[in-house]
Structure formats: structure tokens, C-alpha cells
Structure 1
């Protein structure tokens, strides 16, 4: 994990989305390896919205869970990920996407 992956290119978008729905800041994990495991589950809150199972992605660092995110298990669906419990970035942060993006750019853009 390094700061350069968090802003400035299309490759940074998945990192922004994943970290945007975490309570923890990515700064704590700079210089460390993050391993992500995927699970497909039933009875997740997103199932009520999408009528489909959900994929959960669990983020581990040094053998400890440090976060995670979810996304409906639907072919061809595009968009941002949700928190582990199915919340949007706006629900997790209390900010609009634009407010969050401005704050993110200020912190990780340089």
C-alpha cells in the first residue's frame, strides 16, 4: 500500500472506492501489504435491492482484518462498491461524493 495508488490515475479508482467506505484511513497501512479475500454470500443487505447474492471483499494486513467492502453478484453491473454492510460512501462518510472527493484529493493528490 502506498500513497501513489490513491489518486491521479484511472488505476487509483478501485483504491479510492474501497478506502472511501472504510472507517479507517489508508495512511496507517502505507508500506504494508494488503491482501483481499472474496466471498459470495446470501442474506446480505444488498440482496434486498439487487435480488442477488453479494460479493464481500475482506481486507487483511499482517493477518488482521482492516476493512472490507461489498458489491452485488450481478453480471454487467457497474458502479462504486458498498461498505461491508451495504452502505454507500455518502452514508459511511456523511459527505456528498463531491465533498469527499475534494477532501480525498487534498489529502492524497500530491
Structure 2
């Protein structure tokens, strides 16, 4: 009976600790976005993952890291906490894409994902808010910059090689 109580206490303590860390990361991310001049429209939730070479080599993850100012190699083996928000007063609020057949417009808001490691913001991504639709093939930095604006001196292949070596 005593062993069961100890195991239960450890499991509950671990759960509370994880919840507190995630809640703290939410506040850190929210404060960061507000400090940058963005207005929080809504909080969309969180997630976390441990960064590995294998995850980094996958297309959606690699694309997200390509628009960061940090080399993700230094975060391999670390837990990346992800905080998601809808914000306004962002460069992508007025984004528009035209093609021969239609026009896609942002709805005056931006969807952002903030990367937090050990209570520090290390980067993030942004997408124009166009309802439930997410533009999977296009990604911007947290501040709405494309790859070429973030990495003026490197091409995508060179950067990928840096990340994976």
C-alpha cells in the first residue's frame, strides 16, 4: 500500500510539474508577442516534442527551422514547447495571394507558433489566418519573413546541410 501511495504521489507531482511548465511557457510566449507589438486574439493551445535528427530531417519540421535565426542542431535532444496563438497587428494580417483562378486573402489576423526551450523563446513561425485553412506549403518566421529575408547569404540546401551535419 505504501509503494502504491509513493508511485501515485510521484505520478501526480510529475503531472503538476509538466502543467506548470506548459502554463509558464504560455505566459512567456504571450508576453513576448505583446512586447513585439502584436495583439493576442486567442490562444490556440500547446504541444511539445523532443527534437531529434530524424524529426529535423522531416519536411514540415525542416521548413519551420529554415526560417529561424538559430541553428536547431544546438537543440537536438531538448524538449521544444510549442505555443499557438491567433494575433493581429502582424505583417501577414493583410497578406494576399492571387492566381489565375482565385484570390486568397488573410482575414486580418495571423496564426503564430512560438518555440520555447527552457523558458526562453528561440523562434517560431507564422501563417496568414484564412479561417481553418492552413497554407502548408508556405511558411514565414515569427515576424513574417520568408527564408530569403532571414538567411541572406545561404540557400536552402546549404542551410539544410548545416542543420543535419
Q: Note if 1:5 corresponds to 2:55.
A: yes
TM-score by length of 1: 0.81
- Match in the other structure for 1:84: 142
Higher relative contact order (CA 8 A, sep 6+): 1
- The 3 A distance-change label for structure 1 pair 93 and 54 is same
Unaligned runs of 5+ in 1: none
Q: Which runs of 4+ in 1 moved over 4 A?
A: none
Pairing 1:1-110 to 2, within 5 Å after superposition: 1-7=51-57, 12-49=58-95, 50-52=105-107, 53-74=109-130, 75-78=132-135, 79-94=137-152, 99-100=155-156, 102-108=157-163
2:79 partner SS: coil
In 2, the alpha carbon distance for the partners of 1:81 and 1:51 equals 14
Q: CA RMSD in A?
A: 1.9
TM-score by length of 2: 0.56
- The 3 A distance-change label for structure 1 pair 105 and 83 is closer
Name whichever structure is richer in strand by fraction: 2
Further displaced range: 82-91 or 45-54: 45-54
In 1, the alpha carbon distance for the partners of 2:159 and 2:111 equals 26
